């Protein structure tokens, strides 16, 4: 069930009506749980049991960390994290490991290769890990401990809601337990921030339906063997278009999720902060997929030692974090290479900043921002073409197809639909230069224009790119 589908609009509308009925206020959380189950079943009913298993593991592990034997708290937290990771690794990476390490005709290899990929497993697994780890870390903190109900049924309902809340169930943002659990309370119609929800939803749907869904019909030419016949400039234009598409697609989803959560009285962390204006690779990762970046930093990079054990250990921790972050995105070695590429860029940048400090001027910022964007865009090729041979062939075509005629139509349409993302970032740069920013009437006029384009110029419906992760 896509956020852009009519059936989803109906689900949200019906849920919203029941949710705010005064006689049903005490049933608000169960109503959202029921809606979330319907949402997941429409997407992948045959694997609902896996979501329920994951939720059950986290219910038991987090409860035992607080109310089990004190000498077994670490044990319960450990097995909770291990089981979460085990489920993720088995279903998501089983096919990859079997293809890499097992004979092609082995029974086990065939079984693992046939495993289905559960929708949203990377996201709800990381949220489960967040719950178990946060509970263990804050087991003796009264304010957090009070969020873990003594009544097991009440605790089960809280965890179920935390992991399954439908706006973020399939593609995030990855909401941490210590951020979300304190928000669980009775919500009221009068508390809805209508203007913020409206702006967020309109911009999110515009990025997805007008920008991403139109660009996808042209960036499909990046796939093998279509790209081989196009000129170098056209191939570079296609890469630029895909960079715009993947941002519009994922940022659009995240904004829609934030807007939907706001309608039900909940706040999600921002997942994007205009990443294509980043002036460094570190800045890019503070702006792109923020919930994943902060999760990896808090639950992986820092526990590995962060930058506390010397220069080379810092570089190693950085590389490990980014490679594993790359693999989180998909069960193919190309994603690990993508993570390695970003880790290498971060490490080199850290080295240069420490040993060859450059004076920051407007010109150097523009140059650095251009380098970051170009490098990030080139690495997106590993997302679009998981097969290394195709990546190499695409790069070879860029070099060899200089003399071929350009496809002006494709380049023009890519540029046209990319203007939405460019304008989105330009608007940010304009308003960030102001000392105090307040939404103006013109912003709502702009939202009206975006709504007009959504109605009149949406592309054909397509699944969100991050659904596959």
| Burial state string for 14-29 with b = 16 or more CB within 10 A and e = fewer than 16 | ebbebbbeeeeeeebb
Is 0.75 surpassed by the pTM of this model? Answer: yes
CA 264 to chain CA mean position, Å: 21
d(CA 193, CA 262): 7
Quote the crossing angle between the two packed helices 232-263 and 408-432, to the nearest 10°: 50
What confidence score (pLDDT) does residue 373 get? Answer: 96
d(CA 11, CA 35): 7
What confidence score (pLDDT) does residue 268 get? Answer: 94
Instruction: Report helix, strand and coil shares of the chain as percent, to nearest 5.
Output: 75, 0, 25
d(CA 399, CA 338): 21
* 438, two tokens: 């307040």
Tell me: do 83 and 56 sit in the same domain. yes
- Is residue 89 a contact partner of residue 103, using CB atoms and an 8 Å limit? no
Residue 1 lies in a domain: no
Tell me: do 306 and 211 sit in the same domain. yes
Tell me how far CA of residue 7 lies from CA of 12, 325, 339, 395, 400, in angstroms.
9, 33, 36, 41, 47
Tell me how far CA of residue 339 lies from CA of 214, 285, 313, 383, in angstroms.
28, 12, 18, 11
What confidence score (pLDDT) does residue 411 get? Answer: 95
d(CA 215, CA 370): 22
Tell me: do 113 and 244 sit in the same domain. no
Tell me: do 285 and 420 sit in the same domain. yes
Tell me: do 320 and 441 sit in the same domain. yes
d(CA 229, CA 92): 34
Question: Which segments of 68-190 does DSSP mark as H helices, in order?
Answer: 73-88, 94-101, 107-113, 121-137, 142-145, 152-164, 166-169, 177-180
Provide the 10 A C-beta neighbour count for residue 450: 18
Residue 341 lies in a domain: yes
Choose among 188, 178, 173, 197: nearest CA to 134.
178
Long-range contacts formed by 349-355: CB under 8 A, 24+ apart: 349/280, 349/281, 349/282, 350/282, 350/314, 350/315, 350/318
The domain boundary, picked from 191, 220, 247, lies at 191
Tell me: do 184 and 274 sit in the same domain. no
Tell me: do 339 and 448 sit in the same domain. yes
Choose among 51, 47, 36: nearest CA to 1.
36
d(CA 398, CA 380): 15
d(CA 278, CA 429): 11
| Burial state string for 270-291 with b = 16 or more CB within 10 A and e = fewer than 16 | ebbebbbbbbbbebbbebbbbb
What confidence score (pLDDT) does residue 355 get? Answer: 82
What confidence score (pLDDT) does residue 438 get? Answer: 62
- Is residue 200 a contact partner of residue 161, using CB atoms and an 8 Å limit? no
The domain boundary, picked from 143, 168, 191, lies at 191
Tell me: do 126 and 243 sit in the same domain. no
Tell me: do 33 and 170 sit in the same domain. yes
Tell me: do 149 and 203 sit in the same domain. no
Residue 450 lies in a domain: yes
Tell me: do 452 and 359 sit in the same domain. yes
From the CA atom positions of the chain, what is the Rg in Å?
23
The domain boundary, picked from 160, 191, 222, lies at 191
Question: Which segments of 165-193 does DSSP mark as H helices, in order?
Answer: 166-169, 177-180
Just list the catalytic residues. Answer: 329
User: pLDDT digit of tens for each residue in the chain (469 aa)?
Assistant: 788 889 999 999 999 999 999 999 999 999 999 999 999 999 889 999 999 999 999 999 999 999 999 999 999 999 999 999 999 999 888 878 787 777 767 777 777 777 788 888 999 999 999 999 999 999 888 888 889 999 999 999 999 999 999 999 888 899 999 999 999 999 999 999 999 999 999 999 999 999 999 999 999 999 998 999 899 999 999 999 999 999 999 999 999 999 999 999 999 999 999 999 999 999 999 999 999 999 999 999 999 988 888 888 899 999 999 999 998 888 788 899 999 999 999 999 999 888 887 777 888 889 999 999 999 999 999 989 988 899 999 999 999 999 899 999 999 999 999 999 999 999 888 876 655 556 667 777 888 999 999 999 998 887 877 766 6
Q: Which domain holds residue 399?
A: 194-468
What confidence score (pLDDT) does residue 117 get? Answer: 81
- Is residue 48 a contact partner of residue 40, using CB atoms and an 8 Å limit? yes
How many domains does the chain divide into? 2
Longest dimension (CA), the chain: 73
Tell me: do 237 and 114 sit in the same domain. no
Q: Could you tell me which residues come within 8 angstroms of residue 26 by beta carbon, excluding any fewer than 6 positions away?
A: 186
């Amino acid at each position: 069930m896509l956020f852009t589908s009519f059936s989803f609009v109906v689900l949200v509308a019906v849920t919203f009506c029941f949710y705010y009925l005064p006689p049903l206020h005490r049933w608000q959380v169960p109503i959202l749980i029921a809606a979330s189950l319907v949402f997941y079943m429409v997407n992948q009913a045959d694997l609902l049991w896996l979501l329920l298993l994951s939720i059950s593991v986290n219910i038991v592990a987090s409860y035992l960390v607080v109310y089990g034997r004190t000498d077994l708290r670490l044990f319960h937290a450990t097995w909770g994290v291990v089981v979460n990771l085990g489920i993720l690794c088995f279903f998501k990476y089983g096919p990859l490991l079997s293809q890499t390490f097992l004979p092609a005709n082995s029974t086990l290899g065939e079984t693992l290769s046939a495993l289905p990929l559960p929708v949203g497993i990377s996201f709800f697994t990381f949220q489960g890990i967040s719950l178990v780890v946060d509970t263990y870390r804050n087991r003796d903190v009264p304010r957090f401990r009070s969020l873990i109900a003594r009544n097991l049924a009440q605790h089960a309902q809280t965890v179920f809601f935390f992991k399954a809340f439908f706006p973020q169930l399939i593609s995030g943002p990855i909401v941490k337990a210590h951020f979300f659990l304190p928000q669980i309370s009775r919500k009221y119609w009068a508390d809805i921030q209508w203007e913020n929800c409206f702006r967020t939803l309109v911009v999110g749907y515009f990025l997805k339906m007008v920008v991403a869904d139109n660009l996808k019909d042209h960036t499909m030419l990046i796939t093998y063997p279509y790209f081989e016949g196009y000129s170098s400039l056209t191939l570079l234009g296609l890469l630029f278009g895909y960079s715009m598409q993947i941002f519009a697609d994922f940022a659009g989803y995240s904004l829609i999720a934030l807007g939907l959560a706001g309608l039900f009285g909940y706040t999600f962390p921002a997942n994007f902060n205009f990443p294509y204006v980043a002036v460094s690779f570190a800045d890019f990762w503070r702006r792109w997929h923020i919930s994943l970046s902060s999760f990896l930093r808090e639950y992986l990079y820092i526990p590995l030692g962060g930058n506390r054990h010397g220069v080379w250990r810092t570089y190693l921790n950085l590389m490990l974090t980014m490679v594993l972050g790359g693999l989180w995105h998909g069960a193919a070695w190309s994603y690990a290479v993508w993570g390695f590429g970003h880790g290498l860029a971060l490490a080199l940048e850290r080295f240069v900043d420490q040993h060859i400090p450059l004076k920051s001027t407007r010109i150097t910022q523009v140059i650095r921002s251009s380098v970051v964007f170009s490098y990030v865009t080139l690495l997106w090729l590993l997302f679009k073409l998981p097969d290394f041979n195709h990546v190499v062939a695409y790069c070879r075509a860029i070099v060899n197809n200089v003399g071929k005629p350009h496809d002006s139509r494709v380049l023009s349409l890519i540029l046209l639909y990319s203007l939405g993302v460019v304008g989105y970032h330009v608007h940010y740069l304009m308003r960030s230069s102001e000392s105090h920013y307040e939404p103006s009437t013109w912003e709502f006029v702009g939202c009206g224009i975006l709504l007009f384009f959504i109605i009149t110029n949406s592309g054909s419906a397509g699944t969100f790119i991050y659904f596959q992760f």
